[in-house]
Amino acid sequence: MTTVSGGGPGGATPLVRLRGLSKKFGDVAAVQPLDLDIFAGDFFALLGPSGCGKTTLLRMVGGFTPPSTGTVEIDGQDVTRLGPEQRPTNMVFQGYGLFPHMTVRQNIGYGLRIAKASDAEIAERVGAIMTLVRIGELAERRPDALSGGQAQRVALARALVMRPRVLLLDEPLAALDLKLRKQMQEELRRIHQSIGGTFVFVTHDQGEAMGLANRIAVMEAGACVQEGGPEEIYLRPKTRFVSSFIGEANMLAGERRGGTVTLRAGIAFTDAGPDGPVVLVVRPEAIRLDGGTAGLGTTGRLDDVVFLGPYVRYRVTLASGEEIAAHSADTGRRAGMAVGAAVQIGWEAADHRVVAGT
């Protein structure tokens, strides 16, 4: 997890301020009215499953899709009605959108040529940005002679050379294979740190969001369901959807009545909140199998033990039929655990979250 220095909800005025922004395509509400603040220096992730409206939201910020309602403010200026060429943003598109009839150098210099920069300035800035994203040797190639990773870098350079106040990236790493993706993640962080810009990116990969962003907005069906730092979102998910989407989570069904939650698994504890069905969310690494727990616990049957290198994964089936996954870094202990035997599981109340819903 990165802690990139920069804004944050506490301090200065936001660089990008979205208010009541929404988009309907016919009857489809692609983005429901939402408010969002993005601060200078942020590496901001819009995270959510495919089709939840991430691209639409990003395109509204970039000026490609006119919003149905709401406003987009950048740097204190209302840009809602401005076209993309009039906004201090630049975007890296999902398919990169490189110009096939131009060389890499011409692709990167395009924006500066439009802006009527001098030849000397174009040459200098294009050269510098190619060095920054490490594509100097590709300058005279055409896009169809580039690999996916190289095309990605060219698209990035072409946007960065414009020195945007906000760089928008739509699924920047989705088209790359796993190894390249990890490499480009490092690369993006290095670039973000070295130029100190503000990046907003869209991803459906929670690992990518956690690995790159200092702030994350989780989207579900066009709505922003939670927004905050990676740690906050991981440790204190507000809804069942967020907890299941970010990392792995155990979910235990139950009901709250008069401030007491009773789980189907037979555990009861006090927890203030409205009456109704609830789900208890607890991460696998918070579950202990040592019995002598001071927190909550129950017994179950150990069904599976898998050694995964840094940790061991246990699968336990409770009397309610619900399954619990537990991760333990103490890989030496698994020798003493017999599959099929009864085990005691437990966790500290501070490690779980109770969210409304079924």
Partner 1 sequence: MARIAWGAYSGIIVLFMLTPLVLVVLFSFTDNALTNFPINAFSLHWYRILDANPEFWKAFENSLKVSLGVTLISTVIGTMAAMVLARWRERLANAALLALAAPVTLPALVIGIALLVFFNKVGVPLSLATVIAGHLVITQPFVILIVYARMVNFDYAAVDSARDLGASPWRAFWTVTFPIVSSTVIGAALIALAISLDDFIITFFTIGGGNTLPTFVWGKVRTYLDPSINAIGTILITLTVGSTAIALWISRYRG
Ligand X SMILES: Nc1ncnc2c1ncn2[C@@H]1O[C@H](COP(=O)(O)OP(=O)(O)O)[C@@H](O)[C@H]1O
* Contacts to ligand X by CB under 6 A: 25, 28, 30, 48, 50-56
Instruction: Report the residue number, 18 or 219, with the smaller CB distance to Mg ion.
Output: 219
Instruction: Report the residue number, 21 or 138, with the smaller CB distance to ligand X.
Output: 21
HSE, side-chain direction, 13 A CA sphere, residue 273: 17
Interface characters, 28-57, with Mg ion (x: CB under 5 A): ---------------------------x--
For residues 237 and 229, is the Cβ–Cβ distance under 8 A?
A: no
Cα distance between residue 30 and residue 162, in whole Å:
30
Instruction: Report the residue number, 3 or 50, with the smaller CB distance to Mg ion.
Output: 50
Judged by CB under 5 A, the number of residues near Mg ion is 1
CB of 70 to partner 1, least distance (A): 21
Residues forming the site for partner 1 (CB under 8 A): 62, 64, 83-85, 89-91, 93-103, 106, 110-111, 114-115, 155, 158-159, 162
Torsion sign across C-alpha atoms 197, 198, 203, 209: positive
Which of partner 1, ligand X, Mg ion, none interacts with 25 (beta carbon under 5 to 8 A by kind)? ligand X
Which of ligand X, partner 1, Mg ion, none interacts with 52 (beta carbon under 5 to 8 A by kind)? ligand X
**260, two tokens:** 């007491």
Name the residue number minimizing CB distance to ligand X.
55
CB of 103 to partner 1, least distance (A): 6
**290, two tokens:** 């040592």
Which of partner 1, Mg ion, ligand X, none interacts with 51 (beta carbon under 5 to 8 A by kind)? ligand X
CA 299 to chain centroid, in Å, comes to: 35
Which of Mg ion, partner 1, ligand X, none interacts with 28 (beta carbon under 5 to 8 A by kind)? ligand X
Q: In whole angstroms, how far apart are CA 262 and each of 26, 295, 300, 322?
A: 44, 15, 17, 15
Applying CB under 5 A, the residues found at the interface with Mg ion are 55
